[in-house]
Structure 1
Amino acid sequence: MEQAMHGSDPRDVAPAWRRRTGWLDKALTEAGRALRVLDGSVAHERANPAGPAAAADDPALSDAESRHAAGLMRVNHVGEICAQALYRGQALLCRDEGVRRVLLRAAEEEVDHLAWCRQRLDELHSRPSLFNPLWYAGSFGLGLAASRAGISYNLGFMAETERQVEEHLDGHLSALPEHDRRSRRIVTQMRDDEIGHRATAEHHGAAPLPALVRGAMRLMSKVMTTTAYRI
């Protein structure tokens, strides 16, 4: 009777309050991370595989070659923005700690790629895509949705993402100006890392995605790459 008069037991309220506070902390952490990714201030671990710009002795690119290389590197930068957001979205709701670590580790390596692409864009006197906030938000939402599909499909999204990125990077190695060695070194290292991410996802039990989902991912990627090359 006394408990009914005075409300619920405070001991019952505390766990719910902690859960709400925990989710708020996670949301603020992800929002802060997104801002650092988008403004280029997020810390990265590995040195640029192209080496210091000051020590570069590569042949000069023509204006047309520079614009083309910048367009391709902008597309690569957008791809890394999307992968970063996808993996962090997946990890946020993932209930398997081992898989969560796999996703977060891949996201950390994508930060290296982001930094390298951003540095190369600066060297080419260009800029990232103006639509990066949109790409990040959409990919993060897709990651949240993918995380609810189960562990095997969660990893399947990672494997399929990396497979499609590999194809794009192979195409870019063919499309970059032949003597743009700095961009080529960056793209080659990125491709090797993506192969490793795909293999890791498959090793941990990635399930093949349905053909309809793979096709939708390719269509979204086509829209993204076509837009990012120019804007």
Structure 2
Amino acid sequence: MSWKPGDRREAHDAMVRVDQAGEYGATRIYAGQLAVMGDRTPTARTIAGMANQEEHHRAFFDALIARRGVRPTALQPFWDVAGFGLGVVTAALGPQAAMACTAAIETEIDLHYQQQLAQLGDEDPELRDAVARFREEEIEHRDTAIASGAESTPGYPVLSALIRAGCRFAIGVSKRI
């Protein structure tokens, strides 16, 4: 059987592509933050723990891309630089701003994964179960960031809105390109 545009496989391939790109971007954001913060503070240790979970998420999607023959995003070199840069900038603004970045991104990822789960329904149990599991960890990251003072960042509403808009943009273009 040959696949036609609009087939479910095409939609699932786009999910895998965007999720891999997002997890890759998350690892780069945390790498940028840790490059500035080092590993000597409680915030840096918290970020390192979240980064480790994101690395596991990315490794899962890397393997899924390879196993299913999904074309990865062509924007990965851009997400590499942009993610690291966002991490550097937010960490340079201070630990609360680094956490504000996490809170904003994970808020969008929660919504993104909720939409994917609704779209998947009972289909593709491997992808559905991974997305559900990773969503729970992303929610934990958001909650940890908020508990760590993310919302106390000067200009938090503006910073959060900008980061969330950037995250939505990245999701949209990574599905296609």
User: TM-score band, normalised by the shorter chain?
Assistant: 0.7 to 0.9
Q: Which residue of 2 aligns with 1:18?
A: none
Q: Which residue of 1 aligns with 2:45?
A: 101
Cα distance between partner residues in 1 of 2:166 and 2:149? 25
What amino acid maps onto 1:127 in structure 2? R
Q: Which residue of 2 aligns with 1:126?
A: 70
Q: In the alignment, does 2:114 pair up with 1:170?
A: yes
Cα distance between partner residues in 2 of 1:92 and 1:138? 14
Pairwise CA RMSD:
1.9
Tell me, yes or no, if the aligned pair for 2:108 and 2:164 is still in contact at 8 Å: yes
What amino acid maps onto 2:162 in structure 1? A
Q: CA deviation at 1:111?
A: 0.9
Cα distance between partner residues in 2 of 1:145 and 1:213? 11
3-state DSSP of counterpart to 1:129: coil
1:150 to 94, 99, 106: 94
Cα distance between partner residues in 1 of 2:161 and 2:99? 17
Q: Which residue of 1 aligns with 2:162?
A: 216
Cα distance between partner residues in 1 of 2:115 and 2:59? 21
Q: CA deviation at 1:177?
A: 5.9
Consecutive unaligned residues in structure 2, runs of 5 or more: none
2:18 to 53, 75, 84: 75
What amino acid maps onto 2:32 in structure 1? G
Q: CA deviation at 1:77?
A: 1.0
Cα distance between partner residues in 2 of 1:211 and 1:156? 9
Q: Which residue of 2 aligns with 1:193?
A: 137
Q: In the alignment, does 2:8 pair up with 1:65?
A: yes
State which structure, 1 or 2, has the greater radius of gyration over its C-alpha atoms.
1
Tell me, yes or no, if the aligned pair for 1:88 and 1:103 is still in contact at 8 Å: no
With structure 2 as the length reference, what TM-score do the two structures score?
0.87
More helix as a share of residues = 2
Cα distance between partner residues in 1 of 2:80 and 2:11? 24
3-state DSSP of counterpart to 2:151: coil
Offset from partner CA, 1:183-215 (integer Å, 9 cap, x none):
101101110111111222223332256332222
Tell me, yes or no, if the aligned pair for 2:150 and 2:156 is still in contact at 8 Å: no
Runs of at least 4 residues off by over 6 Å: none
Cα distance between partner residues in 1 of 2:95 and 2:166? 23
Cα distance between partner residues in 2 of 1:177 and 1:130? 28
Cα distance between partner residues in 2 of 1:154 and 1:217? 11
Q: Which residue of 1 aligns with 2:30?
A: 87
Q: How many residues end up aligned between the 2 structures?
A: 170
Offset from partner CA, 1:5-29 (integer Å, 9 cap, x none):
xxxxxxxxxxxxxxxxxxxxxxxxx
3-state DSSP of counterpart to 1:148: helix
What amino acid maps onto 1:221 in structure 2? C
What amino acid maps onto 1:91 in structure 2? L
Cα distance between partner residues in 1 of 2:172 and 2:93? 29
